[in-house]
Amino acid sequence: MNAAVEVAMQEWTAGERRLAELETTAARRTVLNGVVAEIADELQRRMGHAFDLNALSDEYAGAGAWCLDVAQRTTSHPWAHDLSLVQDAAFARIARNALDFRPTID
């Protein structure tokens, strides 16, 4: 695994963890999870069914604009547009579908 993929995976894992640990209301969590799901759905469409982590990392490098667009179309709440949470959590979710994904042990 190259360094860019490793860094991206660390960012995805950190975003997923921050989202899980976020102290918020149930209603806000539902909105945030909905944004993550919409971004993940769009990402899966973009990646197709067979992809590796390198290709996913390449997509991540330029995904900010379309992820923000998806987030803004999903909800008008600006607090749910934090890409360090919703984008990274969505990429973490889809990374598990990569052909070369191997779970890490913390």
pLDDT digits (tens, 9 = 90+) for 46-75: 999 999 999 999 999 999 999 999 999 999
Is 72 among the domain residues? Answer: yes
Please write the tens of the pLDDT for every residue from 8-59. 999 999 999 999 999 999 999 999 999 999 999 999 999 999 999 999 999 9
Return the pLDDT at 105.
Answer: 59
Long-range contacts of 20-28 (CB under 8 A, 24+ apart): 22/85, 28/77, 28/79, 28/80
- Looking at residue 102, its amino acid is R
pLDDT band at residue 106 using 50, 70 and 90 as cut-offs: low
| CB 59, CB 46: distance < 8 Å | yes
Report helix, strand or coil for 24.
Answer: coil
- Please determine, for residue 7, whether its predicted confidence score (pLDDT) is greater than 90: yes
What average pLDDT score do residues 86-105 get? 91
Residue 104 lies in a domain: no
- Residue 45 neighbours by CB under 8 Å, 6+ apart: none
Please report which confidence band the pLDDT of residue 103 belongs to, taking 50, 70 and 90 as the band edges: confident
Based on the structure, what is the number of domains in the chain?
A: 1
Q: Does 102 reside within a domain?
A: no
Q: Which domain holds residue 15?
A: 3-95
